[in-house]
């Protein structure tokens, strides 16, 4: 009998993460025995680096990393992809090499989610709130999609400067700018992106105010718990085409599963299975 594939997620606020369900179901669909654990450093009573090292020592095939450790993990990884190295954040680590190989499936997953919604269309000019780990991945994803201009606002400006510098040095044609307010950022925007935790369960609100939405073409929210955030709700009401954080979660998860296992899951069957599992949970709640 094949040895189980042991995977996990390290993060601080992951009680509602659907990653365990996605990877276990993807494994089942591919005939693989996948075990996936949630690992919260504070709950374990160990710092991130100790938890990460223990996963390596205990035979995990790989680990997903989420807030606030996507940048911190970089010092333990080899990152051969130049774009991901420039992002400066990884959400997936493979322990099949030494040192472990770092990937960013938020970066590739966002591009896949955008293409699924819009085909080959150009993102145009985009305003983004937030320059943290997921913001960096989305920014480089937009550059890879041919975005004309990205204007970024963050309440901590010191996070924006290195991101804009990395984007300008990356060789992409996209123009990258820093805004002094969200109002300034959206002035000529076709698309709106929320890459902050605002709107997440337990952290209500929106980084992009309702009155700034009118006249835009599309919107993306990196938050996926809940799927229908306040931000996406009023974007939808204003007639924008919206991409939910669930789409990023789904596509990045499929990409991570491929990296972890080498297997290609049937994405349509996986999506159906996840939806059925969520419906069953709601009925039993």
What residues are annotated to the active site? 69
First vs last C-alpha separation in the chain: 36
**Strands lying side by side in the sheet with 92-94:** 34-39, 5-10, 62-65, 92-94, 101-103
In Å, how far are 45, 56, 108, 129, 225 from 18, measured between CA atoms? 23, 23, 19, 24, 9
Dist CA 63 CA 8 (whole Å)? 5
CA 229 to chain centre: 16
| Separation of alpha carbons 90 and 140, rounded Å | 13
Q: How many CA atoms lie within 13 A of 94 on its CB side?
A: 18
Place of tokens 């991901």: 84
Whole-angstrom Cα distance, residue 143 to residue 171? 10
Length of the chain: 285
């Amino acid at each position: 009998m094949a040895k189980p594939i042991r995977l996990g997620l390290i993060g601080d606020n992951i009680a509602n993460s659907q990653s365990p369900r996605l990877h276990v179901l993807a494994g089942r669909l591919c005939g693989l025995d996948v075990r996936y654990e949630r690992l919260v450093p504070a709950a374990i009573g160990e710092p991130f680096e100790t938890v990460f090292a223990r996963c390596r020592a205990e035979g995990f095939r790989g680990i997903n990393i989420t807030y606030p450790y996507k940048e911190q993990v970089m010092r333990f990884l080899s990152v051969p992809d130049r774009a991901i190295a420039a992002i400066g954040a990884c959400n997936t680590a493979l322990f099949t090499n030494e040192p472990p190989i770092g990937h960013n499936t938020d970066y590739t997953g966002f591009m896949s989610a955008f293409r699924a919604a819009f085909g080959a269309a150009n993102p145009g000019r985009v305003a983004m709130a937030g320059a943290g780990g997921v913001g960096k991945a989305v920014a480089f994803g937009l550059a890879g999609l041919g975005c004309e201009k990205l204007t970024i606002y963050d309440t901590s400006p010191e996070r924006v400067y290195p991101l804009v510098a990395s984007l300008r040095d990356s060789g992409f044609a996209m123009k990258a700018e820093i805004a002094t307010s969200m109002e300034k950022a959206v002035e000529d925007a076709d698309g709106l992106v929320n890459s902050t935790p605002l709107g997440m369960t337990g952290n209500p609100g929106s980084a992009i105010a309702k009155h700034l939405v009118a006249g835009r073409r599309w919107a993306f929210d990196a938050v996926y718990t809940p799927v229908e955030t306040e931000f996406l709700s009023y974007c939808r009401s204003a007639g924008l085409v919206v991409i939910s954080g669930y789409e990023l979660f789904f596509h990045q998860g499929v990409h991570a599963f491929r990296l972890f296992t080498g297997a290609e899951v049937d994405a349509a069957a996986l999506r159906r299975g996840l939806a059925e599992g969520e419906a069953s949970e709601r009925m039993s709640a």
